[in-house]
Amino acid sequence: MSDFATRLLSWFDEFGRKDLPWQRDAIAYRVWVSEIMLQQTQVQTVIPYFSRFVGRFPDIAVLADAKQDDVLSHWSGLGYYARARNLHKAAKAICAEHGGEFPTTFEEVLELPGIGRSTAGAILSLAYGQRHAILDGNVKRVLARHEAIPGWPGKAGVAGELWAAAERNTPQLRVAEYTQAIMDIGATLCTRSRPSCDRCPVRMDCSARRSDSIADFPGRKPKVNKPLRTTTMILASIDGRVYLERRPEAGIWGGLWSLPELGERSLSEWCFDELGSAAAETRPWDVVRHSFSHYDLDIQPILVRIVSQAGKVADTDARTWHGLNDAPPGGMAAPVKKLINQLKKSENVAHH
């Protein structure tokens, strides 16, 4: 076993995290759900979502049988919703192709939707003790600093060097503990800013620390100015209900329920086309900015009070009049939820 792994493991025995909800019963299903949730999301944020999710979908078969709306509503607020859709698709694939049992070979796990090389390795090492290297964001930071590997890990050449380091350091024994240990070190000690080098078990031969250049590793992503997009969302309201549409599967917020977007039409055209009714009153609200990883979106909300019940839309799988006090029909993106809560407050004020 490498000296690096030995030191990480003895640190883990004393200080590592051993009581996270998915560690208490580390079966493949629970580990898989946690690893998908932990992609791009902090442990503290994930814990309550994980507990609710596995409470509602305790095993692969239950998840595979669930409606997508139900899966997305248990993901609402976690963001990156393609993760939830892929989890659901993968559960169906596991039931169809693997008799409902999570697969045990790297190749089979890698074939599942939403699972890449690092996630596959993490699941197999944490759940089955198989030896696979992993390279999530935390691990990249630890290895880039320890071995002073320059450059942005998003570049193929840099990623290749980091993978080689990850492979070199992964031991043959106690792989599950090692995998958890290196993730824990990145999350708790070797943090992006203000790392706790004095408590790190591998500080003595950390190249970045020796050359006093910790802040230079890992290399930064080349700066790109994020484009700004704009859209107008309609809060069409009547009798304590708001009109919602399901978004297409592809694209942002795929499969989530959302406020309709105005597009090219005028507001009165939209009201007649979609709802068969005129607007009694329209009122623009303040613009809401929502940031995605690749762009910012400015949403101009417009409150539209609809004249007649006659124009009410029949509920279908793709459109509904949602009672403001009812449970959401499925998953909703954070800014949409926020606008609906704002409407709820203003409606309550209006009713008094």
Which positions are catalytic?
A: 35
243: β partners: 321
What are the φ and ψ backbone dihedral angles of 62, each rounded to 5 degrees?
Answer: -65, -40
Q: Strand 279-284 vs strand 228-238: parallel, antiparallel, or unpaired?
A: unpaired
Q: Strand 319-323 vs strand 241-246: parallel, antiparallel, or unpaired?
A: antiparallel
**Burial class of residue 17 (count of CB atoms within 10 Å of its CB; 0-12, 13-18, 19+):** middle
How far is the C-alpha of 339 from the C-alpha of 336, rounded, in Å? 5
Beta strands in the chain (DSSP E): 228-238, 241-246, 257-258, 279-284, 288-291, 296-306, 319-323
How far is the C-alpha of 193 from the C-alpha of 25, rounded, in Å? 33
What are the φ and ψ backbone dihedral angles of 332, each rounded to 5 degrees?
Answer: -140, 140
Give the residue carrying structure tokens 């704002």. Answer: 342
345 Cβ contact partners less than 8 Å away, ≥ 6 residues apart: none
How far is the C-alpha of 200 from the C-alpha of 217, rounded, in Å? 16
How far is the C-alpha of 186 from the C-alpha of 4, rounded, in Å? 14
SS3 218: coil
Going by C-alpha positions, the residue among 278, 243, 285, 238 that lies closest to residue 260 is 243
